[in-house]
């Protein structure tokens, strides 16, 4: 199975041991009242030339990545881009190249949040990047399979998961099975017929 490039790195999680103290019912109630509510789940619809699917974004676990992705959504960065990399039983990757397979400028980068506890399971969405751990810009991918090799460990950075497909996984699978080959700057794995992301838009809440 082909895998995205993984770069050796080091994730430090050194922290002092916490002080353990007995909690009274009143203290527990006060702590609960002081805990801010988790942010409401944000959903977006990805409208493509092969059908639509919906992503639910996890701003609690990946706040920087979700905010970065939503800035790209709201600015129209993804309009007219494609899924330029498709590998069956692995991932579909898009958001960075247009229908002529030309790279679309995306100067802003995002901090790598791959240590957030979310894993690269089938149906999850993650931030693509190059060799630089914090090099994610606008490209994202969706896992077609459980891809543990994309998760971080003690000696390397992983790829940050920031949401999941909650509707339309059949469309994602359909995209994941298109014919691929050499197109534009890619020697392989590019759809021979472009799969266009017509737009990504917010899904209205209840």
CATH of the domain at 90: 2.40.100.10
Q: What is the pLDDT of residue 112?
A: 98
> How does residue 73 score in pLDDT terms, banded at 50, 70 and 90?
very high
Q: How many domains does the chain have?
A: 1
Instruction: Flag whether pLDDT at 26 surpasses 70.
Output: no
- Structure letter (DSSP) for residue 204: P
Do 108 and 96 form a contact (C-beta atoms < 8 A)? no
The beta strands (E) that lie in 3-90 are given as 42-48, 51-57, 81-87
State yes or no: pLDDT of 3 exceeds 70: no
Q: Which domain holds residue 97?
A: 39-202
Instruction: Categorize the per-residue pLDDT at 30 as very low, low, confident or very high, splitting at 50, 70 and 90.
Output: low
| Cα–chain center distance at 4 | 13
Q: What is the rounded distance in angstroms from the CA atom of residue 136 to the CA atom of residue 67?
A: 13
* pTM: predicted TM-score of the whole model, two decimal places: 0.81
Determine, yes or no, domain membership for 34: no
- pLDDT attached to residue 107: 84
Q: Is residue 22 part of a domain?
A: no
Which residue is listed with tokens 């909650």? 166
Evaluate whether residue 112 is within a structural domain: yes
């Amino acid at each position: 199975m082909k895998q995205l490039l993984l770069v050796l790195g080091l994730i430090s999680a050194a922290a002092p041991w916490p002080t353990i103290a007995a909690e009274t019912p009143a203290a527990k109630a006060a702590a609960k009242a002081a805990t801010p509510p988790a942010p409401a789940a944000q959903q977006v619809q990805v409208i493509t030339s092969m059908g639509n699917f919906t992503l639910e974004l996890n701003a609690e676990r990946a706040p920087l990545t979700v905010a970065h992705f939503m800035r790209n959504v709201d600015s129209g960065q993804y309009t007219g881009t494609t899924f330029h990399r498709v590998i069956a039983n692995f991932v579909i990757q898009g958001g960075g190249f247009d229908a002529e397979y030309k790279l679309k400028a995306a100067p802003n980068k995002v901090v790598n949040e791959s240590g957030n506890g979310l894993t690269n399971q089938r149906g999850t969405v993650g931030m693509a990047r190059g060799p630089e751990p914090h090099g994610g810009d606008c490209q994202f991918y969706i896992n077609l399979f459980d891809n543990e090799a994309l998760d971080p460990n003690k000696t390397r950075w992983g790829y940050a998961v920031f949401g999941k497909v909650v509707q339309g996984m059949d469309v994602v699978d359909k995209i994941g099975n298109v014919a691929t080959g050499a197109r534009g700057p890619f020697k392989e794995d590019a759809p021979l017929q472009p799969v266009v992301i017509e737009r990504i838009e917010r899904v209205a809440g209840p």
